[in-house]
């Protein structure tokens, strides 16, 4: 019976779930259940207190500096503190209704709504933080399964298949908290769990080193160009001829002293405009196909929320090959810099390889015209630095959703340092990304070790892991 999938089940298996849809009983789901049936196992709810995040309306509580408020789209890295969350004020955070969603070090967060159901991350800081109701919070009961093991296990095929099995909903799929007592994890021995814990700690160290090296590169840039963002004065006096007649802007924000400090610094350096005929990059726009073109599979559609200065995260949305004509022409090439102009403006990420993806119209494609004059890695760091971020702050418009006009982006001033200085900075940036790749490789080993332990035994898995990482 080619093209058909048949699974035979007992009626008793339907009693708890009351699910009769074929999706729930796919062969891969049944196969995973069969493998796990040979193990002594516990449910996630047996080993962890399971709740979700905040249900209170807090749209008026967001601010620039405050307490991190994590959402589903922030769960793209193993460690939540490396995300870029929204912030809420401390008064809102301290409300009694919010206490149930206060995070603790060691908590495991997992996305439970939408296409990204099953993404997980660990809380590694004791600093105050909270999260939305689109995330589950799993807090250890000290019942024999350590959080680090759960963190990795969720990402294995055994964790993901179970999670996908219990997803519900049509328009927007999700995972119910009540189903966590049916998500099972094998009870591994202490020695194996310790190895996974050590591996997670190494992954964390590599990740933090990567962040530190990147920040060092930005500090080095600031030092080289002698730029100090601090200005004692908060008052700027401008005459009409120097202000509105030149810029067309009357808002006070545009004339803050920090902008004067920046441009006075840039005036002492060799600089070029980012775009235009005499600029250092070619700027290309992508497309905005509209929500009718969105699919659950197909060509990855990358939006601003999927891009950080460190990586592109797996998208929630895909585009049909039939909807996008000549899709390959829209794929960005190696060394293309993706640069956000809407929403979270001024985020830059350089592609390490050609990518078969389509980006939203909110992401510009920047291509360096002459790499003998300016290095792509150096330029990417400059775009993510205060040198450009302050220019973005000055230019952007929009109270709710910020917009940075392409004509303004073309006029961004870029310091063009001597090539030896550029190479020093580029080397640091590249080192940061090497460390990130190393952390990702270790995580891949951790996943494979757990899957191998389930299928062939812990001893074989530990021996294999030792051959890979020397533990």
User: Which of 410, 425, 440 corresponds to the end of one domain?
Assistant: 425
Residues 141 and 230 occupy one common structural domain? no
pLDDT score, position 77: 80
Q: Quick check: is 2 in a domain?
A: no
Distances (CA, A) of 445 to 143, 170, 187, 334, 448: 25, 35, 19, 27, 5
Residues 205 and 294 occupy one common structural domain? no
Residues 132 and 151 occupy one common structural domain? yes
- Distance, in Å, from the CA atom of 198 to the CA atom of 213, rounded to the nearest integer, reads 22
Residues 420 and 294 occupy one common structural domain? yes
Q: Give me the domain span that covers residue 278.
A: 211-425
Residues 61 and 100 occupy one common structural domain? yes
C-alpha angle 112-317-389 in degrees, rounded to nearest 5: 95
Residues 292 and 381 occupy one common structural domain? yes
Residues 392 and 449 occupy one common structural domain? no
pLDDT score, position 25: 60
- Distance, in Å, from the CA atom of 283 to the CA atom of 367, rounded to the nearest integer, reads 7
Report DSSP letters for 214-253, one per residue: HHHHHHHHHHHTT-----S-------TTTTHHHH----GG
pLDDT score, position 84: 79
pLDDT score, position 233: 39
Q: Quick check: is 3 in a domain?
A: no
Which 3-state string (H, E, C) describes 294-363? EECCCEEEECHHHECCCCECCCCEEECCCCCCCHHHHCCCCCCEEEECECCCCCEEECCCCCCCEEECCE
pLDDT score, position 327: 83
Residues 402 and 431 occupy one common structural domain? no
Q: Quick check: is 282 in a domain?
A: yes
Structure tokens at 392: 């973005």
Residues 53 and 72 occupy one common structural domain? yes
Low pLDDT (below 70) residues in the chain? 1-25, 170-171, 229-257, 397-400, 471
pLDDT score, position 81: 84
Q: Quick check: is 4 in a domain?
A: no
pLDDT tens digits, one per residue of 371-399: 999 999 999 999 999 999 999 988 886 55
Residues 337 and 407 occupy one common structural domain? yes
Element (H, E) at 416: none
Q: Which residues pair with 120 in a beta bridge?
A: 110
Q: What is the pTM of this model?
A: 0.81
Answer left, alpha or beta for residue 398, where phi above 0 means left and psi between -120 and 50 means alpha: left
Report DSSP letters for 96-131, one per residue: GGGGGG---TT-EEEE-BSTTTT-EEE----S--EE
Q: How many domains does the chain divide into?
A: 3
Residues 408 and 451 occupy one common structural domain? no
pLDDT score, position 1: 44
Q: Are 388 and 396 in contact (CB under 8 A)?
A: no
Residues 64 and 126 occupy one common structural domain? yes
Q: Phi, psi (5° rounding) for residue 145?
A: -120, 120
The CATH number of the domain holding residue 121 is: 3.90.220.20
Q: Quick check: is 67 in a domain?
A: yes
């Amino acid at each position: 019976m080619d093209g058909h999938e048949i699974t035979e089940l007992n009626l008793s298996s339907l009693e708890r779930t009351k699910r009769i849809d074929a999706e729930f009983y796919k062969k891969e789901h049944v196969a995973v259940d069969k493998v796990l049936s040979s193990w002594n196992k516990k449910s996630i709810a047996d080993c962890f207190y399971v709740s979700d995040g905040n249900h209170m309306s807090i749209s008026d509580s967001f601010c620039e500096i405050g307490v991190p408020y994590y959402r589903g789209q922030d769960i793209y890295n193993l460690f939540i503190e490396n995300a870029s969350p929204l912030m809420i004020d401390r008064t809102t955070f301290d409300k009694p209704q919010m206490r149930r969603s206060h995070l603790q070090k060691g908590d495991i967060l997992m996305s439970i709504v939408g296409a990204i159901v099953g993404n997980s991350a660990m809380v590694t800081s004791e600093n105050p933080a909270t999260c939305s109701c689109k995330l589950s919070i799993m807090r250890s009961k000290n019942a024999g399964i350590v959080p680090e093991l759960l963190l990795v296990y969720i990402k294995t095929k055994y964790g993901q298949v179970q999670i996908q099995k219990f997803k519900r909903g049509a328009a927007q799929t999700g995972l119910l908290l009540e189903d966590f007592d049916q998500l099972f994890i094998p009870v591994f021995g202490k020695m194996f769990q310790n190895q996974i814990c050590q591996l997670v700690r190494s992954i964390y160290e590599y990740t933090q080193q990567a962040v530190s090296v990147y920040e060092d590169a930005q500090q080095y840039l600031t030092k080289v160009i002698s730029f100090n963002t601090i200005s004692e004065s908060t008052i700027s006096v401008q005459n009409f001829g120097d202000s509105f007649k030149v810029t067309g802007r009357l808002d006070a924000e545009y004339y803050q002293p920090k902008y004067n400090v920046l441009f006075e610094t840039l005036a002492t350096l060799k600089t070029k405009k980012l775009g235009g005929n005499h600029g250092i990059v070619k700027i290309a726009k992508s497309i905005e196909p509209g929500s009718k073109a969105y699919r659950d599979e197909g060509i990855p559609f990358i939006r601003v929320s999927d891009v950080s200065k460190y990586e592109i995260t797996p998208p929630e949305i895909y585009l049909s090959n039939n909807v996008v004509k000549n899709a390959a022409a829209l794929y960005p090439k190696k060394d293309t810099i993706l640069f956000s102009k809407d929403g979270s403006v001024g985020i830059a990420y350089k592609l390490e390889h050609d990518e078969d993806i389509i980006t939203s119209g909110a992401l510009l494609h920047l291509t360096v015209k002459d790499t003998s004059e300016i290095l792509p890695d150096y330029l990417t760091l400059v775009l993510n630095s205060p040198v450009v971020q302050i220019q973005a702050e000055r230019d952007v418009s929009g109270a709710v959703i910020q917009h940075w006009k392409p004509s303004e982006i073309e006029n961004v001033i870029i310091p063009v340092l001597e090539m030896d200085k550029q190479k020093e900075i580029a080397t640091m940036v590249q080192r940061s990304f090497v460390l990130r790749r190393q952390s990702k490789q270790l995580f891949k080993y951790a996943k494979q070790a757990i899957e191998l332990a389930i299928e062939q035994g812990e001893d074989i898995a530990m021996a294999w892991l030792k051959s890979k990482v020397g533990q």
